[in-house]
Amino acid sequence: MNYRHIYHAGNFADVLKHAVLARLIRYMQKKDAAFRVLDTHAGIGLYDLSSEEAQKTGEWSEGIGKLLDTELAPQVAELLEPYLSAVRELNAEGGIRLYPGSPKLARMLFRSQDRLSAMELHPEDFARLHRLFEGDHQVRITKLNGWLSLGAHLPPKEKRGIVLVDPPFEEDGEYERLADGLAKAYRRFPGGTYCLWYPLKKGAPIKEFHEALQALDIPKILCAELIVRSDRGINGLTGSGLIIVNPPFTLKDELHALLPALKDHLAQDRYASHRAFWLRGETKAAKDD
């Protein structure tokens, strides 16, 4: 309950997560039918990067702060356009002070028929999130442990949806919990697109986590990872990963364009790297670049 995303808002991990979330939303919108985004660990929705908390870590300056006004290759700029345009819209006067969390970003990209269900358990964060979307008929805010929503809120009535699971990873066993949560959710909503975030840091059980996902009865699981620095002498976050279940057929190729650019622009030392590969389906051979 003491995790607060304001310290990390807009960092390199948010850039990867939100860039991919925006791509998933745009893909869903290729069809006229409505869809729902379920955000299981929503936070406060909108972050002030000039706040004392954000300034204390300055993590955003190594993430969105490096990317927003950078000249990008045409293909990369096109792929990042939905995400970066939303950030620019919030900072119309220039610079960057406000940063959208996942629920705010999703809502900014919605059409009139699309819907958001956002879960937040922290009392103060829930209250702020509720105020942010008060009166918005396309958004439902619920004070609930996000893990429970993987059962109680699936499948969505729209029968189409993106499920974003972005836990704080403050407790032991969160990688196992993430795999178990996916298994539970998939049984209820096998047609959904799932996007699961996880941290990369020294000693993290990534191999075991990937093996647990491979053991699930899920046909297509895509993995994307971005590492921005070496883990030598560092106990904190060195990279982040995304698990995408039922990904759009275009996403793998998009990641092979996006990840090298993100690595180049967000690298914090010469050990930065990236990869996108199938854990299940298509081909399991990893492609490290």
Give the catalytic positions in this structure.
166
| Residue 18 is labelled as binding a ligand | yes
In DSSP terms, which residues pair with 223 in a beta bridge? 243, 277
| Residue 78 is labelled as binding a ligand | no
Residue 65 tokens read as 């702060």
Residue among 248, 276, 250, 249 at smallest CA distance from 262: 276
φ, ψ dihedrals at 189, nearest 5°: -140, 70
Residue among 100, 145, 176, 177 at smallest CA distance from 1: 145
| Residue 102 is labelled as binding a ligand | yes
| Residue 5 is labelled as binding a ligand | no
Q: How far is CA 279 from the centre of its chain?
A: 18
CB atoms closer than 10 angstroms to residue 27? 17
245: which DSSP letter?
Answer: E
Helix axes 251-266, 12-28, angle to 10 degrees: 160
Residue among 13, 21, 36, 181 at smallest CA distance from 102: 21
| Residue 65 is labelled as binding a ligand | no
Q: How far is CA 238 from the centre of its chain?
A: 16
φ, ψ dihedrals at 198, nearest 5°: -145, 150
| Residue 41 is labelled as binding a ligand | yes
In DSSP terms, which residues pair with 72 in a beta bridge? none
Tokens 């560092």 appear where? 234
| Residue 170 is labelled as binding a ligand | no
- The binding site for S-adenosyl-L-methionine comprises 18, 41, 102, 120, 145-146, 166
- The binding site comprises 18, 41, 102, 120, 145-146, 166
